[in-house]
Amino acid sequence: MTISSKWNFPTTVLFGEGRIAELPAVLKAAGISRPLFVTDPGLAKLPVVAGTLKLLEDAGVAYGVFFDVKPNPVESNLAAGIAIFEAGSHDGVIAFGGGSALDLGKLVAFQAGQTRPIWDFEDVGDWWTRADSDAIAPVIAVPTTAGTGSEVGRAGVLTNEATHTKKVIFHPKMLPVTVIADPALTVGMPKMITAGTGMDALAHCLEAYCAPGFHPMADGIGAEGVRLVLEYLPRAYADGFDIEARANMMAAAAMGATAFQKGLGAIHSLSHPIGALYDTHHGMTNALFMPYVLDFNRAAIEERIERLAAYCGIDGGFDGFRQRVMELRAELGVPERLRDLISGLEMDDVRKNLIADMAIVDPTAGGNPVELTRDAVLSLLEKSM
């Protein structure tokens, strides 16, 4: 049998406690003299941002700040960020925060120099080749959560406000030139954010591992990422100042985003429309759907999950692994049902059909080990209710 595939791996990562101090030097090495610092409204008020901006001031770096970023970024956030980028004559971006800030920072750096609408660069076929590569500004990524792994990704997720759909915008040059992964920046993160982002990392690693196709490096990274999350997420949740647990979760998040170049699946295909329509936390939504999607895919993935369970030291094969997921969800306070996740949820047949239509065309649907049909989505929705 002839095997043919294409593999890509991420960028330079400066990993370790205290490495945020290297930010001015990293900017200089990247040729960025007037960065736009992109973060989110909640983080902008915290000492971790003030301390980082002081590093820039002490180094004489002229910078601007933008923090009008929703938890699920929308096109108007992007337009506002581009306006600030252009007004300040910025030549690069520091994307600082969780997935929303990282994604929007990358998108600002990408789109500021383009003349076509952002939706012309959706991750469809070779649409990325429409972009003017020379006009893409460099990005330095600084994650402050351990979940999305967007810091090592070549794409950003943006919600189209007109259609209420999440779109993946892709270009190879959206990959940050350098990542500063300092686990000290995640210390003290609220429990709900620790749980949600950690379960997002688990979903990335797990779905990448289960995705069809030949990519043994992604499989290995995904499997080790799953093991790290199962071991260290409960510790990080129990004690937000456990720096060893925080560091391992930060590594697992980057590993998930590295592995999922192989593919994602129905967990994300369901989570994306729910997040776009109800503005739910992405990681918590992934966690809610995880056991139902495991069951749906069982026939195609049981042997792989048995190997994964053995690697993670879990007895009982597929059933033992699923039970461990359920125990972890309970330990982290993950909602058991959609009605628990979305207060006052009303979902009639029209809305269910809309979600099904959105899920089956989501870019992640094609990576599911079992074909994701409308009927399958409707059944998974019913189970999750």
Q: How far apart are CA 37 and CA 178, in angstroms?
A: 15
d(CA 17, CA 307): 33
Q: Measure the N-to-C terminal CA separation of the chain; round to a whole number of Å.
A: 44
Q: What is the structure's pLDDT at 189? A: 85
For the segment 268-274, the average pLDDT, to the nearest whole number, is 95
CB contact at 8 A, 225 and 146: no
Question: What pLDDT is attached to residue 164?
Answer: 81
CA-derived radius of gyration, the chain = 20
| pLDDT value at residue 347 | 84
Q: What are the pLDDT digits (tens) for 202-247?
A: 999 999 999 999 999 999 999 999 999 999 999 999 999 999 999 9
Pair type for strands 165-170 and 155-160: antiparallel
Average pLDDT value for residue range 349-364 = 93
Query: pLDDT at residue 195 above 60?
Result: yes
Task: Give 35's strand partners.
Answer: 92
User: What mean pLDDT comes out for the span 366-370?
Assistant: 96
Phi and psi at residue 143, to the nearest 5°: -75, 145
Q: What is the CATH number of domain 189-384?
A: 1.20.1090.10
Domain locations along the chain? 12-185, 189-384
Q: Kindly give, in sequence order, each residue whose CB lies less than 8 Å from that of residue 216, ignoring residues fewer than 6 positions away.
A: none
Which residues face 143 on adjacent strands? 97
- Compute the distance between CA of residue 286 and CA of residue 206 in angstroms, rounded to an integer: 11
Min mean pLDDT across 170-174, 203-207, 275-279, 328-332 is at 275-279
Rounded to whole angstroms, the Cα distance separating 269 from 109 reads: 27
Q: Using one digit for the tens of pLDDT, what is the confidence trace for 68-125?
A: 999 889 999 999 999 999 999 999 999 999 999 999 999 999 999 999 999 999 998 8
| Residue 130 near residue 121, CB atoms below 8 Å | yes
Under a CB-based contact definition with an 8 Å cutoff, are residues 150 and 156 in contact? Answer: yes
Comparing C-alpha atoms, which of 210, 294, 212, 225 is closest to residue 257?
225
Residues 6+ apart with CB under 8 A from 242: 235, 236
Q: Phi and psi at residue 164, in whole multiples of 5°?
A: 55, 40
Q: Which residue is listed with tokens 């070779």?
A: 126
pLDDT at 343: 82
Contact 222, 255 (CB under 8 A): yes
Q: Which CATH class is domain 12-185?
A: alpha beta
Indicate the helix (H) or strand (E) that contains 14. strand 12-15
pTM over 0.95: no
Number of alpha carbons in the 13 Å side-chain half-sphere of residue 38: 32
Strand-pairing partners, residue 141, are: 95, 179
